[in-house]
Amino acid sequence: MNTIRAFIALLIFPGLLYALPAGLLMLGLERKCKARFQGRIGPPISQAFYDVIKLLAKSPVSRVGSDLPLLIGLPLLAVGSTVGALALLPVFSSESGFVGDIVLLVGLLEMPPLAYILAGYASRSIYGEVGSTREAVVSIVSNVPFLAALIAMASAAGSMHSAEIATSTPLMVRVPAVIAILLCLPMKLRITPFSLANAEQEVLAGPLTEFDGARLALWEMAHALEWTALIGFVITFAIPVRSTSWIVNAVVYVVLSFVLVLLLTLLASSTARLKVSQASGLMWKWGGTVAVIALVAAFFTRGGGH
Amino acid sequence: MSGRNSGLIWRLVEIARRRSAWLYHFNAGACNGCDIELVTCLSPRYDVEQVGIKLEGSPRHADILCVSGPVTRTTREALETIYGQMPEPKVVVAIGSCPATCNVFAGSPVVDGPVDKIIPVDIYVPGCPPRPHAIIDGISRAIEKLALRRSELAVGDK
């Protein structure tokens, strides 16, 4: 029974069958809304599907000096680990998952940025290397408040089981922790104020400059899955209650995911790209402060409760 | 590489290619007139992103190569490299009179053009500079050519 449930989570919902189309729709929605905010009509919401199909049907050009298995393996690693992370999201009540799954979940969520950084270096392009360096800085900076907030939630809930952390963290810890995670979200998704690594035209296409055809399509899919996984992560850890009906849980999860996409798009279309020093300064200052508040709150709740 | 691919999957690919053409813009010694007109097409007034067209930073991502300028001696090698880096199927659009005929630079010792002496050109958009309408028309013809081009599926290198 548990194995079947795990496979359903991995392959159907919130895993591959839901997450890939939903992620591509999120990317389409982002482009459409950004265009509307800028006074343009913009591409259809299904745009990302066309892009992926077109890229899959292109014939890549051979080239010297870069490692082909690595160029195919890294995007596959990003896709695979994100699907694994999606399967571990505590969308439903606390029976799902296992003790300690939060560690695995965070580890899997960290794989795509790592693969992205390695891809930039493996492609041996100067633009890829610049993009990778920026991504490395950004991911270190965003992970400090992100992990601190998660540690605060886990210690306040007194558990390493993600479903239990999601449902039993007290409100005074949950609010600052979720705010800190939300602050990290645009940085982790590399959208505009923090689009340093993939800065269009500035460093060509960042780490993905040398990827073409199906390999680029794999990265598009990894990016789409990353959107569903990270946004889903924030939502599942922000909502304190779970309904007994799985349909209600699923619908709330899906609807809130798309609402969050709209908010992120609003942020992306109303800001300009920051410099690396500005972005990291902003994250240390605000993300760090909120994460410390969450940690202090967790310290006091633990002192009282356990 | 002529004729259409047959089968249901290729009909789907044709639809996708018609709705997702990524451009790479190469300035082969242009005076910047055509470049400004090309960028105008992406502005809210003309908004070619409605049909999925966008400007890409890397030639490896692109489907359509837009060349402007008469191809000076210093840009020739770069043009050849970039054309070689683009994956098949690809289409070349010559924007303006310079890539088509070298325009007023014809006969200059530092000009190696026109473009079709160096790489095959599919669509010419004449004008000095051409209007955005003409550029959009040229790109839409290029997309039609791109969609119907025969190709094969591959994950690894050819």
| Matching CATH number, B8-147, of 3.40.50.12280, 3.40.50.300, 3.30.200.20, 3.10.129.10 | 3.40.50.12280
For chain A, positions 54-83, list CB contacts with chain B under 8 A: 54, 56-63, 68, 72
**pLDDT, tens only, A170-180:** 889 999 999 99
**Mutate: best of B58, B86, B153, partner A, most A CBs <10 A:** B58
Interchain proximity A72–B44, CB inside 8 Å: no
Interchain proximity A51–B20, CB inside 8 Å: yes
The shortest C-alpha distance from A199 to chain B (Å) reads 9
Q: In 3-state terms, what secondary structure has residue B93?
A: strand
Mean pLDDT is lowest, of A4-13, A24-33, A292-301, B57-66, for A4-13
Q: Which residue has the higher pLDDT, A99 or A44?
A: A44
Do B94 and B115 touch, CB atoms closer than 8 A?
yes
Q: Which residue has the higher pLDDT, A67 or B35?
A: B35
Count CA within 13 A, CB hemisphere, residue B77: 2
**Per-residue tokens: A249:** 């849980």
Distance, CA of B149 to chain centre: 15
Q: Which residue has the higher pLDDT, A67 or A39?
A: A39
**pLDDT, tens only, A115-127:** 999 998 888 888 9
Give domain status of residue A304, yes or no: no
Identify the pLDDT of residue A125. 85
Query: Which chain B residue lies closest to A211 (C-alpha atoms)?
Result: B60
Number of structural domains (chain A) is 1
Give domain status of residue A172, yes or no: yes
Give domain status of residue A158, yes or no: yes
Give domain status of residue A305, yes or no: no
**pLDDT, tens only, B78-128:** 999 999 999 988 999 999 999 999 989 988 999 997 999 999 999 999 999
**Per-residue tokens: A9:** 């989570």
Residues in chain A: 306
Do A295 and A196 touch, CB atoms closer than 8 A?
no
Give domain status of residue A306, yes or no: no
Rounded to whole angstroms, how far apart are CA atoms A183 and A66? 36
- pLDDT category at B158 given cuts 50, 70, 90 is very low
Question: Residue A14 is inside which H or E element, if any?
Answer: none
Contacts of B151 in chain A (CB under 8 A): 57-59
Structural domain for A131, as ranges: 2-299
ipTM of the modeled complex: 0.89
Average pLDDT over residues B56-63: 90
Q: How many beta-carbon pairs below 8 A join chains A and B?
A: 113
Give the nearest partner residue to A60 out of B10, B19, B157, using CB atoms. B157
Looking up tokens 């994460």, which residue turns up?
A: A291
The shortest C-alpha distance from A60 to chain B (Å) reads 5
The closest alpha carbon to B60, from B43, B85, B37, B42, belongs to B85
Q: Which residue has the higher pLDDT, A145 or A68?
A: A145
**Mutate: best of A54, A195, A273, partner B, most B CBs <10 A:** A54
Mean pLDDT of chain B: 88
As a whole-number percent, the residues of chain A with pLDDT over 90 amount to 56
Cis peptide bond upstream of B129, omega within 30: yes
